[in-house]
Amino acid sequence: MNQKTLIGLTLGLATIVAFVVAFWPSPIPVSVATVQRGVFTETVEDEGYARVRQPYPILAPISGFLRRVSLEPGDQVSMGDPLFELESLPTPGLDSRTREQMMDAIQAATARVELAKAQLEIQTSRYQMAESEWERQSALYEKQFISKDAFERATTEKEAAFGAMHAAEHALEASAFELKGAQANLDIADGQRATDEQPTLIVRSPIEGTVINRERCCEGP
């Protein structure tokens, strides 16, 4: 075998090897891991809605002025615990004409109070004079210096004066109450809240449970 034949065989063999390498299938990439025995855990997270089977909506039974509610959603309450408190509604604001009329009513009530005081002083003086006269007539009657009719007239005058004095006292009380009421109406109309002496309505929980929702927390009508 000469040199040319050897070179030809070498080139042919190299060509065959090149074709084989070119058409040989490429390896497919795969993921591998070591198989182990263990616990498989799968978690699913999502938002949900809780529904109460027996809700108890609590509403105000009457109109009123709501005081601030201290309970928060999630608070626990027992049966009979106070939920919220209502007081009477304040008088609406007054216009200038109505305010002047109320001021005139206060002045008129004040004048009636002064008149009732003067009447009471007059009737008190009359009663004191009638009582003094009755004591004098009583002493004379015991000594038989005056007749029975004169003594009875003195007694009647004393009783009449006493009744007139008490009537004047009641008139003064009535006029004082009238003045107080007129002044209170004006004060409330000027924006003043009801006093602590006035009764309030406390709405209590009918059951033991949890506060789920609160419509409002701040005070107001």
Q: What is the pLDDT of residues 69-114, one digit of tens each?
A: 888 888 899 999 999 988 887 766 667 787 788 888 888 889 999 9
Long-range pairs, 108-113, Cβ under 8 A, ≥24: 109/175, 109/178, 109/179, 109/182, 110/179, 112/175, 112/178, 112/179, 113/172, 113/175, 113/176, 113/179
Task: Report the predicted TM-score, pTM, of the whole model to 2 decimal places.
Answer: 0.46
Residue 204: φ, ψ to 5°: -110, 165
- pLDDT-derived band at 2 (thresholds 50, 70, 90) equals low
Cα 6–12–15 angle (5° rounding)?
Answer: 140
pLDDT tens digits, residue range 125-151? 888 888 888 888 888 878 777 788 887
| Pair 187, 93: CB distance under 8 Å | no
